[in-house]
Structure 1
Amino acid sequence: MRRVHLVVRGKVQGVGYRYSMQRRAADLGVVGWVRNRRDGSVEAEIEGTDQQVEAILAWAEQGPPMAHVDAVTVTEVDPTGESGGFDTRSTH
């Protein structure tokens, strides 16, 4: 299993980015969470197989149609063995 922490910058709030990521994560079967940050970016942690994580990272670079992604910062973190789906969290 692999887990990554993402920070996505650009026009990513108010365009359905979190909702779309949650749907994509469910489609891919990954677990984790996504939330808006007060600085206008979106933050997420995703855990799954290498193939699943790579697929959502590829999606994150584009986002939903109304988004404009300037940068995605990816940090590898230790897998937690989390189960239970993919959540949207409160703004941090």
Structure 2
Amino acid sequence: MSEATGGTEDVRMIAWVRGVVQGVGFRWFTRANALRIGGLIGFAVNLGDGRVQVVAEGPKENCEALLEWLRTGDTPGRVDGVTEIWDMPRGGYPSFDIR
């Protein structure tokens, strides 16, 4: 994984994505974009209520880039809204995975 540069702090971003986001490859594309952005660990998982939860840890600017992608509409399916919270990173993820 790449390291934070320029004094960028590492953060934990948890996002809940609402809309038509299950059964459309959303988690796969989320993982692909997290890897493209780089420096991120975490996961994307389907929730029982139809949302996808995305947990990403790494440099704040990288997490913000992933959050922006989740909101742009350039995603599979249809995103009706994204809610996020920010926290301190917990670590323990080997990479960015699909769960």
With the length of structure 2 as denominator, give the TM-score of the two structures.
0.81
Alignment-derived partner of residue 26 in structure 2: 17
Alignment-derived partner of residue 77 in structure 1: 87
- Identity among equivalent pairs (%): 36
Gaps of 5+ in 1: none
The question of 1:8 aligning with 2:17 is answered: yes
Q: CA RMSD in A?
A: 1.3
In structure 2, which of residues 51, 70, 79 is the aligned counterpart of residue 41 of structure 1? Answer: 51
Partners of 1:6 and 1:43 within 8 A in 2: yes
1:15 shift after superposition = 1.1
What letter is aligned with 2:24?
V
Cα distance in 1 for partners of 2:48, 2:74 equals: 19
Gaps of 5+ in 2: 1-9
- Segments ≥4 residues shifted beyond 6 Å: none
